[in-house]
Structure 1
Amino acid sequence: MAVDGVSLSPEHLLHELRVHQVELEMQNEELRRAQQALEESRDRYVDLFEFAPIGYLILSDTGIINGINLTGASMLGVDRAKVVSRRFASFVAAADRDRWLRHLVHANHHPGRQECELMLVHGDGIEFAAHLDCQQQMQDGVLVLRVALSDITERKRAEAELNATRDALMLANERLLGSNRDLEQFAYVASHDLQEPLRMVVSYGQLLEKKYRDRLDDDAHAFIGFMVEGGARMQSMVTDLLEFSRVERTGGGREGFVSDEAVAEALLSLSQAIIESRAQVTHAGLPTIFYDRHQFIRLLQNLIGNAVKYADPARPPRVTVTARHQGHEWVFSVADNGIGIDSAYFDQIFAIFRRLHTRDRYSGTGIGLAVCKKIVEHHGGRIWVESHPGEGSTFLFTVPDP
């Protein structure tokens, strides 16, 4: 045989045919592997599509179901063959049908994702909450709507429970606030109305002792002394209770002022105690704050007054008032070198009428720190103490930025 004038032997032709055969077999193998990979990829896609955790639907622009995955058919509770070609509206609860039709028109005229929530009807007649994520797409030259369908019944139930819990908490909070207001009103009225009869008890007890001093024996004098002392102590407690109840009732308007000046005013009212105890109180560089000025002065009076009162007998009182800015608030501190407080009592000392010492050792009613706590919290702050017995105490409170 001759090709282009060259004579080819049968053996050469046979060799060429075998080479072509091998090449064809290799190409066929590559095509087979590619086809197998394509089929595996298609199977994976089908599995992902059919058994996805959400339903996928393809709707016509009129809302006819042209396609649906197995998950979507299962959500609707109808065999897939019986779902295709039906209107999606037939699965929408009657109360939401008009809303679905409005959403369908909107989604057909607005590209991009269009979402809505509807109540759908399962094949057994039970309604469930669903979320629809719709998006336009061209398919074979025809505009269709691809829909991702999610069952949100559990989420809605959780939201309803959360809302019910929130409403219950709000109602309980309102009742608690009302109860607190009633208690404050009661404390104000009771303490105000108690002042006059207590004043009369103390005054007449003192008059009785003065007028009949020579006619009374020692026991009578002692009894009258107990009566006057008890009445005076009760007067002090009533006065402090009245002040406690007035923190939120009679607080003035908040204003901006230099806290250094307010501390100086507080020290002026404590001057006698400071002189008698030979205390040294320092403060400087304190910030301008937005607060009820009168209540801030009262707050510092109580804290500095306590630092002077609970001094260590072995050394003169040293009190330092400082402030540092931290985040969105100022942190004030009133540090002393007094007797200190055991950590077991850190929370208790801010309770009303709570005392850690007997009246024989330290005077007072035990309401001062409760007033401090109420003032600080009334202005949106926090108050706490850091202390070790015998090493002094540091009371800290925050003042939020305006």
Structure 2
Amino acid sequence: MSKSSAENNLRAKAEAKIREKSNVIENLTLEESKSLLHELEVHQVELEMQNEELRETQHRLEEIRDQYTDLFDFAPIGYLVLDEKAIIKNINLTACDLLGIERSFLIEKPFSAYITNGESRTLFLNLRKAFETGILHSFEIEIKHKTKGSFTALLQGAITKNQKTNDTVCRVSLIDITELKEAEILQLQHKSLQKEKEKIQEYLNLAPVVFLLIDPQYKVQMINKKGCDLLKCESSEILGKHWFDNFISFVGTNGVPLSHQSIENENGLLNPCFESFLKCRNDELRLMFWTNVTLLDDNNKLIGTLIAGEDITERKKLELRQQKYTEELEEIVEERTKGLNDALKKEKVISEMKSAFVSMASHEFRTPLTSVLSSAILINKYNELKQYDKVGPHVQRIESSVNQLTSILEDFLSMEKLERGIVTTSKETFDLEAFIIDIIEEFSWMLKEKQKINYVQKSPIEVFVDKKILRNVLLNLISNATKYSKTDVQIRTYVNNAVLHIEIEDKGIGIPEKEQEYLFAKFFRAKNAVNIQGTGLGLSIVKHYVKLINSTISFTSKLGEGSTFKLTLPLHS
């Protein structure tokens, strides 16, 4: 109905009312008519004013309705109005967006049509209980989106009456809690991980080694109790700090400084194992052996390093002590082995001497003993025959043989004493010329026919030396010279730069050049002297005696031409 027809209708009703009261108006006086007219005009003005107020009130109501509509449609959560059968009576735009369906297609449609299978029963049970109690308690159901699949929604609401229709409806709020559920799951996972972390931390705190986790920037993210105790710091003083700059000393175990390259490989990752000193509080250093495990993500990107450290300070000290003890033990064993080797060598020498003595005695003793025996038999026969004039040569022969045996035994006794180191020296001052002449006279009876010993000394010489040792040396050298030579023997003595030189020269058989290096060895005899009487000990004894009196001996020899032995002796006042 148009506005003009409504006004015409209202006017017709008003004229009908006036006609009913026309009889009353006709009987009014003029004054009464004026008064009535004035009242009518006043009422007319009042009605106009009331109409204006009504129009303004209606306009405000329309504005409030529009605001309510905006609040209802554009609220951040979905709103639905459901009856007892869960038919959608009204729904806001947010709920429409959650379902992915326009509002015109939802009004008067069952809400259960947009719920996943198995959830309808939950909806109806809660809705029935709500209409009984007046409150729809919050519950969760899975709702289908037209194109995006399903999502978890939280529903809650209250029962109210529709004032127009006087019907009872349920006003329901609909909230998508999918992200909230995911957040709750993440929160639960975080709590679970936190508990696992605390549990792992408890296990790590019981470990006897240092455990820590560092990030790619080498900052400490986790450290166990052993690490804190060793550093003598609280965990709060360690966490977040650069591990190598604050807690690792780059002084090597051998004193040579370590570089970052010594603990990192070419990829910038920590080497699996290395040793370094840990800087503890109060500047204490502990030697540590580190084992490192690199942690990578699915893209092989470094996310951290797990480090385990063992304190090997005491073990290293023990190893050093063991090494030192081993070295000392090796030295002791080496010394004792050397001593045993020396003893074995001495035993071998003694054994060789015994064997050589037996061999030599069987050879050297046979001739003089045979000579003694034969001479004794002949002397006995000459005495029986009273041929006394023939006894003398055989007595001399026995004396010579006995002297020969005595010389052999003296050589052995001298060598034995020298080997054992029991020969002592006793120096004295004496005239060298008279000393050597006495020695030459001792050899007068031993010289071969037409053989002489020539002695040359240009000036008097006094020496300060052990007389007995020097005599034994010269006796051996002169004896060899006369034994191996048929011609004269030359003895020369002279002093040069406070050193006495004694030279003994013979024109005998000489010494083969290849055998000269063995000349002073015990029991050595050159091949060209095998058939000449001797023990092979004389020159070895001379070598020992020469050392005792701080002198030296040398020789020159040529096979078939003879030898010259030279003795040098420093002169001491």
With the length of structure 1 as denominator, give the TM-score of the two structures: 0.47
With the length of structure 2 as denominator, give the TM-score of the two structures: 0.35
Higher relative contact order (CA 8 A, sep 6+): 1
Larger radius of gyration: 2
